[in-house]
Amino acid sequence: MLTSSLLHAVIKIAHQAGEHLQRFYARSVAVQIKSDKTPVTEADLFISQFVIEQLQALTPDVPILSEENCNIPLAERANWQQYWIIDPLDGTQQFIDRTDQFAVVIALVQHNRPVLGVIHAPQLSKTYYAMQGFGAFLQKNGEILPLAPRPLPAHSFKIAVGTSHQPKILASVQPPYQASFVQYGSSSLKAGLVAEGVADCYVRLGDTGEWDTAAAEILLAEIGGAIFNLAFEPLSYNRRETFVNPHFVMVGNRQGEWQNIFRFNR
């Protein structure tokens, strides 16, 4: 199943979805508030349906989970050997706020672990992609750059963050380590900054879904990075009734002394 042709077919779907997103971005869109108090736009819903249809045509026998189409009980999906998981518009608030920092995210999960991931930011002309055993890459303005293992962070290091929880994150950093922030938009694009080496890690002390982290898991794994919860345990996929992730840290180098760097009050 994991072939270069499959990977490039998924990249093509992400790029096509990105073109649709740009058309929505060029005009005003209708916004609703979901039951979890997060926004959803007509762009989210259109892209979700578009990507689902394209993936169904590509792999008819593989189930699909979308953030906008995920009301499937664990009893029904527990025996899935593989499935697609997508976030049609990661960074909906960024899309609404017109920061350009949003992405289409598609991942393939096999035996409860992500094995293929694509993160495409159409307004930034950036596409991160990775596949198990294949490596991780960044396509930027038409140029393809292999992503390399990240060096271990020095005592002074950079954390990718959103707009909230910054004081709490800073308070978790233990001496003699000192941290500075790189503030950025969507969750998947902060993972991309870690993969690129713009940041050493990304700390999230807020709710996300499994669709927010699946592509990042394989992107970081292919360069020696990792994602773990605040107890320094790996995240899980399709093992719980809920899709809500625990709070987490994404790191560019899993060999770092992260348990000495961070002390979280859970």
Annotated binding site for Mg(2+): 67, 87, 89-90, 212
Element (H, E) at 192: helix 187-196
Amino acid letter for position 118: V
Q: Which residues are annotated as a binding site for substrate?
A: 67, 89-92, 212
Angle (CA) 202 245 139, round 5°: 50
Check if the beta carbon of residue 119 is closer than 8 Å to that of residue 129.
yes
Separation between Cα atoms, residue 150 and residue 92, nearest integer Å: 29
Separation between Cα atoms, residue 255 and residue 185, nearest integer Å: 27
Each residue of 104-117: b (16+ CB within 10 Å) or e?
Answer: bbbbbbbeebbbbb
Separation between Cα atoms, residue 82 and residue 243, nearest integer Å: 16
Q: Which residues are annotated as a binding site?
A: 67, 87, 89-92, 212
- Which residues are CB-contacts of 244 (< 8 A; sequence separation ≥ 6)? 207, 208, 209
Separation between Cα atoms, residue 56 and residue 60, nearest integer Å: 5
Residue 256 sits at φ, ψ, to 5 deg, of -65, 160
